[in-house]
Amino acid sequence: MSGGNSIVANIGETAGVVWRTLSAKGPLSMAQLVKAVGEPRDTVMQAVGWLARENKIAIEDDGRKRVISLLP
């Protein structure tokens, strides 16, 4: 399972991109975030989970969409 570390590293790097994107643009829907980050949806969702686990973001349901924002 040698590829596992590169996958985890990619998720971590994407988490950094997600954080910087939210810092620059403010709250975004998941669709907007995926488009802004430019990585596959699955990778962005894993990165969002990473940041949520670290208590760095908030995820709120807004009708049919989820809005992701940085916590203060």
Domains in the chain (CATH in brackets) are 4-70 (1.10.10.10)
Q: pLDDT > 90: what percent of the chain?
A: 92
Query: What is the end-to-end Cα distance of the chain in Å, rounded?
Result: 37
| Whole-number Cα distances in Å, 33 to 4, 5, 37, 46 | 25, 24, 6, 13
Quick check: 7 pLDDT over 70? yes
Residues 6+ apart with CB under 8 A from 26: 69
| Angle, alpha carbons 71-30-47 (nearest 5°) | 65
The stretch 21-39 carries a mean pLDDT of 98
Quick check: 1 pLDDT over 60? no
Q: What's the pTM value of the predicted model, to 2 decimals?
A: 0.91
Q: Which two tokens stand for residue 63?
A: 């009708």
